[in-house]
Chain A
Amino acid sequence: MNNDNLVEQGMNTAADINNNYSSAPAGDDLLDFDDDPLSATGVSRKSLVIFFLIDTSGSMKGKKMGELNTVMEELIPEIRKVGEADTEVKVAVLTFSTDVRWMYSAPIPIEEFEWARLRASGVTSLGAALKELNARMSRNGFLNSPSLSFAPVIFLMTDGYPSDDYKAGLKELQANSWYKFGLKAALGIGSEANDNVLAEFTGSADTVVHAYSGGQLAQMIKIIAVTSSQIGSKSMTLSDDTSHELGEEDVFAAKQKLLGQQIQDLVGKAEADDVPFDTGW
């Protein structure tokens, strides 16, 4: 498994880079006579798009939606910090009920992002949402940054069983390389949400969590969104043990595994905190 595959499969426009930009030093004459050693622009940053897929079906109405809107507003400043010097973080929000809608027509840099409060009504068209995500998750679509990108973070939140053929949507999405290398996590809200469906989406049960109360909902959204954007926006230290030289197979999907571990740790801790003081003795 290497990136050459990746380029061929989904990111077909990699070759465009070489057409659009000549590599130095071929065209130094194109530069103005501007040689001030202090006139630097910011270092070229890698980009990371965080996709939020949010269920806005009728069953989300009321407290769930209120809680979700509030926590998302509060979350933005927290995610702002994670990029640091290395990564430009952008956010795209896709809502799905009877219809599928993007909150904004393109991913917005986190520094400028403002949460538009969502309303709930209609049914749960998860399959349509996954198809729409697949359509936009390409070099020609939402992932068109000229510089390097990290694989996207994709965070699904839903409170019900899909009302359409989600398997068809998922099948299309699974052929998308950005999805394959992306960091996937999902949150089931309330007792109707099916964790198996969510695990099909993320590819592993570790990155699926469930919230049953309002307080939990806020906590879980924060845990998943902050952890996944932290992991997604940084390169990772590949190895801590120096007993053998690393190969491709050692590092494959290392970030997704780490995400699973950290989410489970944090969720475990959060649940332990939830126990009333007089129980568990």
Chain B
Amino acid sequence: MTELEIGQEVELEFGGKAQVLSVIGSGGQGTVYLVRFNGQKWALKWYDIDKMKKPKEFIKNLRSNIADGPPDNKFLWPKYLTKEAEDGTFGYIMDLKPEGFDSFVDILNTYKLEVDPLTGRAVKKDVKFSSLTAMITAVINIVNSFRLLHRAGKSYQDLNDGGFFINVNTGAVLVCDCDNIAPDGSNFGIGGKPGYMAPEVVRGIAQPNVQTDKYSLAVVLFKLLFRGDPMEGEKVVRDVCLTESSELRHYGQNAVFVYDPKDASNRPVRGIHDNVIKFWRIYPDYIKDAFIRSFTTGITDPTKRIIENEWQKLFIRLRSEIIMCGCGRTNFASMFVQPTEKTFKCPKCGMEFATLGFSNRSYRMPLYLGCKFYECEMIPESEEFMKVAGELVENKLKPGVLGIKNCSDRKWRAKMPDGVFYDIAPGKGFPVWQGLEIDFGEIKAQI
């Protein structure tokens, strides 16, 4: 019983029956169906056990994952197992992907195909991030979910572009395909997806684990930001035809990063890798350096790979360095002119931006209407990178006057032009002026 019929009922392990409504999609290990169970709609993954190497161990691992629960609500985690069919086939039930999320694959393609149910014709629809902040937030969310997973002592094993759904308007992320997640050190037969697999896995000398996850994570991040393959450049394209042996060489034995500073043999090729060429110039050095490290020393030495916490810090910084200029230009501060140490200037329209310096970091945050900072940037021990702490807004009663609104639940103190610090309660704000100082508690900030 590899495939289920529409209308068929599948018994769950702890009672109840799920009725198959339609096919959602199929993957390497089985098929996902839309089912009704307990009056609600769910997704049912049903395995093709002929394609599995260790079905018994696999199901045991699945059972313990269900018992442990997800590390965080960003995971579409297995909820209930089905009973095993006579031939040993089985499946599990999980939540459906909520509305408003697009697959990472569609984001990389920049479009999705929607099939008109009447004509059967496929129509292309754009899939793009609505803002740079949303894209970098998505990166932070991806990194954070793997940080939480690894902290729980588990590895994802099969990290690739099929593993995420992303909301392109908010940057919210859902991690799906959680069924290969296993305690670090064990593997139940999955190797991973070529192009995302760590070189040592491609070469056949290591099994997926937390360290190989880190390599795959760097590939996912590279693809999301630079929209290309970190290992596909001139050296690879020269082969014309990608045979099994060329893959073994280019992704295993002799993988060379396209921007390896010491090896120019595999640079991106104009006409094929235009995205990578263009975006590599845009990102600030601290981001590029992290990718260079991941894909040079990190190729041969898994311990040199960037850890999730480090990625998280780098991208929280990158998010705080975005400037959305009134003229429509949005980019990172490093792509703006810096007339003084404390200001940025738009190269297109000439608008100048003041910056806020925080006492716990060396870089400054540019201030523009609508810019936000988050709780983790205001409280040293906070991990809350999605909770807005402050925002630059226009005073509703005094048009034209810009100030910072306290969106947090803490009381701040801010220095006014009279030299006195005043209490700023949650929900209140204060004007931005030359000489402004803010006291968040442990962390202070000033213009």
Contacts and interface: CB of A to CB of B under 8 A. Distances in A.
B53 interface: yes
Given A35-B278, A37-B279, A85-B161, A44 B240 contact: no
A280 interface: no
- Is chain A's binding surface mostly helix, strand, loop or mixed? loop
12 contacts: A14-B238, A23-B269, A23-B270, A24-B267, A36-B330, A37-B331, A77-B115, A80-B122, A84-B162, A85-B109, A240-B191, A242-B207
A7 interface: yes
Nearest to B135: A38
A148 B239 contact: yes
A243 B240 CA distance: 31
Interface in B222-240: 223, 225, 227-229, 232-234, 236-240
B413 interface: no
Contacts of A271: none
Contact of B270 (A24, A111, A246, A248): A24
B194 A236 contact: yes
A255 B244 contact: yes
A150 interface: yes
Contacts of A238: 194, 202, 204, 244, 247-248, 252
Given A28-B281, A38-B135, A14 B110 contact: no
Interface in B243-278: 243-249, 251-252, 267-275, 277-278
Nearest to A181: B243
Contact of B204 (A43, A234, A239): A239
Residue from A27, A28, A77, A85 whose CB has the most chain B CB atoms within 10 Å: A85
Interface in A1-48: 1-3, 6-7, 11, 13-14, 17-18, 20-25, 27-28, 30-31, 34-38, 40-44, 46
Contacts of B149: none
A34 B274 CA distance: 12
Contacts of B275: 40-41, 43-44
Interface in B347-399: none
B135 A146 contact: no
A254 B244 contact: yes
Interface in A51-81: 77, 80
A245 B232 CA distance: 23
A234 B191 CA distance: 14
Interface in B136-181: 161-162
A139 interface: yes
A131 to B, nearest CB: 21
Given A3-B241, A41-B275, A146-B272, A244 B204 contact: yes
B229 to A, nearest CB: 7
B204 A241 contact: yes
A84 B105 contact: yes
Contact of A240 (B53, B237, B245, B280): B53
A191 interface: no
B91 interface: no
Interface of A: 1-3, 6-7, 11, 13-14, 17-18, 20-25, 27-28, 30-31, 34-38, 40-44, 46, 77, 80, 84-86, 111, 139, 146-151, 177-178, 181, 234-246, 248, 250-255, 265, 269
Contact of A147 (B194, B246, B272): B272
B24 interface: no
Interface residues of B, number: 79
A245 B236 CA distance: 21
A43 B248 CA distance: 22
Contacts of A236: 194, 244, 247
A20 B270 CA distance: 9
B129 interface: yes
A146 B238 CA distance: 10
B270 to A, nearest CB: 5
Contact of A151 (B50, B106, B110, B241): B241
Nearest to A246: B204
B117 interface: no
Nearest to B194: A235
Contacts of A31: 277-278
Given A35-B331, A38-B132, A43-B223, A237 B228 contact: no
B233 A23 contact: yes
A51 to B, nearest CB: 15
B56 interface: no
B241 A40 contact: no
Nearest to B128: A38
A240 B189 contact: yes
B411 interface: no
Interface string B416-429: 00000000000000
* Closest 8 A/B residue pairs (Cβ): A235-B194, A239-B204, A237-B191, A251-B244, A85-B105, A246-B204, A3-B239, A21-B271
A71 B330 CA distance: 50
Residue from A77, A111, A235, A252 whose CB has the most chain B CB atoms within 10 Å: A235
A2 B227 CA distance: 29
Nearest to A177: B241
Contact of A40 (B113, B227, B332): B227
A80 B113 contact: yes
B267 A23 contact: yes
B242 interface: yes
A242 B205 contact: yes
Given A24-B270, A31-B277, A148-B236, 7 more contacts: A23-B269, A85-B108, A151-B242, A245-B204, A246-B248, A251-B248, A265-B50
Given A1-B245, A242-B206, A14 B240 contact: yes
